[in-house]
Amino acid sequence: MIRMIIVDDEIDSAKLLQKRLLRDLQSEDKLTIELVQSVEEAAPRIQVASPPFDIVLADNSLGPGREGLDWLEELRKEHPDIDCILFTDLNESVAERAAEAGIYRYLTQPVEPKELIWCVRSLIKQRVTDFERQWLALVNQIGAKLQLATTIEEISDIIVHGGTELGFNRVEFWRVISGKREPVHFVGYKQAGNCLPRFVGFVMPHRCSEHVRKAYDDLSTKFFDGWMQGRGYVSRKLKVRNSPPQHGEWLCIPLVNDQGCQAVVVLQEPERSTQLRAEEKKLLDLFAQKASGAWARALLYEYHHIEDKINRVVQRITQETILHGEPEDLGKLLTVLYDEIKQITPTHNFVVAMKHHDPKIDAKGWLRYAFHIKEGTILKPYWRSPSDQGLIRNFIDQNSGPCFCPVGTKRERQRRHLGPPKRFAKGWIATPLSVGGETIGGVFIEEYERQDVWSKEDARLVSAIILRLSHFIQSAWIIEQRTHMAQKRDLLQSANEKIMALAQEQPSHLKTDEWLWHATLTLATAHYGFAFNRAMLFLLDERNFDLYGRMGIGYLTPEETIRAWEALDSISEESADPFDQYIAQLTSF
């Protein structure tokens, strides 16, 4: 659109000129012409014009007051982008001053209409050509910067600031995120210019913006005209406090790769009304192509960069376990995993929880905490009761993908309909251990002191590493369980033989079969035996056929039993055969 203003104290002549110009130049770029009768009227109008005027036609003789040339000299100094045409009498001194002031053309009066039409048409074409050349040079400069950049951070910065260089007052960069609960949503990633509060990280579902959605769905640049307001300035909600109005033409650019739309860039001019020329739209399409290609390259670079990083970490973990001759040692594998993970997401709270490999046993709800760091202290592996699992067991049972809660687990617990815990985590990264579509456990990183300790990129990297190691962890876990069961089976078989021998060695002063029953009930309740909470022996009174309690070993509650087992862990580890140690204690009394 070309805006022109005619300054002439003879209003009738000015109106005729306006009519002739609009009639003969209607095929040119959109042309609007305003009329004023004096410099005093023209100056303030030009000062506040939005969009600005492109061409000024002024008569040098404006009656009483300043000459037109005097005013145009000042105007050109203040607004060098405005081209001026002066109507004047034949006067060499005026012609020289006009040339020195940078006046595009001066025409002697009376003005020949055809000459004026030709002059204005040439000026419009020149302005359009100059504008295209400047914009093309600018787009090429932005493209050159994009070619030199590689990372997502660098390229998104160049795109948003490139939008402001092209004359847009606000540029928003929305990344496209897909999830199970919301198929597609847009997340505020970066902005430039007249920035919005709380834009970065703001989540807008696909259904909530008809504007961004059109660009996303059609995979092509979309131009819009008219008011646009609302949360994020791309929705249909009109009444939002402190939302500046959007009027004039603006656009949404989808950034596309072979997998579809990955981001949307919104270019706006909320402070002024403007119409984009056809040439501008073509150049904006060129800008969109360059931005889209660079973004696709950045995503590919990020993918390979992350893959390389994942491969290096996984390789270090596997090499470390093999180096110590323990590739199938679950404890060693998880220790090395933790050492690597804490380099990415520093933490003093780390849990690896495993389901039992036998579905019938797992159905009882117990989880094996194969590796547990609590407030920096390494706990021994233990079985966690179904009544004391909460979010971790729920996450594993849901068989969902990784979960990142940078500001705490409160909302996640509410979404899963779980009650409040003793203490809410302020940061949480959960990754399922999945093999063949089946979840065998999970790895959990927790933070209890501060929110926003880890970035989304950190969480994604950690989860990718853990998922890559799921097969190794499963293999080591199954081997550990089978080894443990084999050891227990051998121990029980050996203990059975020892119990029979023990019964024969019992001193005569003790009750009948005292050692036999004590050893049998101990084997039933010991953590290295059948691990029941308690065992009781009832014998038949042959005189009245009643049962009477002969002996009992164990505790009334599981908690007491677990504490007793934990207290005996150090004893059992010191002995190759804990049952032998028990027999030694029994026979010493």
User: DSSP code of 550?
Assistant: E
Counting residues of the chain whose pLDDT is more than 70, the rounded percentage is 89
Greater model confidence, 89 or 248: 89
Q: How far is residue 517 CA from its own chain's centroid?
A: 63
From its phi and psi, is residue 446 left (phi > 0), alpha (psi between -120 and 50) or beta? beta
Q: How far apart are CA 218 and CA 288, in angstroms?
A: 14
Mean pLDDT of 500-524: 85
Q: How far is residue 357 CA from its own chain's centroid?
A: 35
Mean pLDDT of 179-204: 80
CATH for the stretch 149-302: 3.30.450.40
Mean pLDDT of 108-134: 86
Going by pLDDT thresholds of 50, 70 and 90, the confidence category of residue 229 is very low
Go through 399-424 and write b for each residue having 16 or more CB atoms within 10 A of its CB, e for each that does not: ebebbbbbebbeebbeeeeeeeeeee
Greater model confidence, 244 or 550: 550
Q: What is the pLDDT of residues 339-365, one digit of tens each?
A: 988 888 888 999 999 988 777 777 778
Asked if the model's pLDDT at residue 261 lies above 70, the reply is: yes
The answer to whether 2-133 and 324-477 have equal CATH topology is: no
Max avg pLDDT among 201-205, 249-253, 570-574:
249-253
Q: How far apart are CA 105 and CA 83, in angstroms?
A: 9
- Residue 463: both structure tokens together: 């989860």
Q: What is the pTM assigned to this prediction?
A: 0.57
With the C-alpha atoms ordered 462, 464, 470, 473, is the resulting torsion angle positive or negative?
negative
Average pLDDT, the chain: 83
Nearest-Å Rg of the Cα atoms of the chain is 41
Name the residue type at position 249: E
Residue 64: exposed, middle, or buried by beta-carbon count in 10 A (0-12, 13-18, 19+)? exposed
Q: What is the pLDDT of residues 516-528, one digit of tens each?
A: 888 888 888 887 7
From its phi and psi, is residue 122 left (phi > 0), alpha (psi between -120 and 50) or beta? alpha
Going by pLDDT thresholds of 50, 70 and 90, the confidence category of residue 110 is confident
Asked if the model's pLDDT at residue 240 lies above 50, the reply is: no
Q: What is the pLDDT of residues 51-67, one digit of tens each?
A: 788 999 998 887 666 78
pLDDT value of position 238 = 40
* Domain ranges, ordered by start, for the chain: 2-133, 149-302, 324-477, 506-587
CATH architecture under which domain 2-133 falls: 3-Layer(aba) Sandwich (3.40)
Q: What is the pLDDT of residues 292-326, one digit of tens each?
A: 999 999 988 887 877 888 888 888 887 777 666 56
Asked if the model's pLDDT at residue 106 lies above 50, the reply is: yes
Q: What is the pLDDT of residues 365-423, one digit of tens each?
A: 889 999 999 999 999 888 887 877 789 999 998 877 899 999 899 988 988 888 888 88
pLDDT value of position 218 = 92
- For 324-477, which CATH class? alpha beta
Counting residues of the chain whose pLDDT is more than 90, the rounded percentage is 21
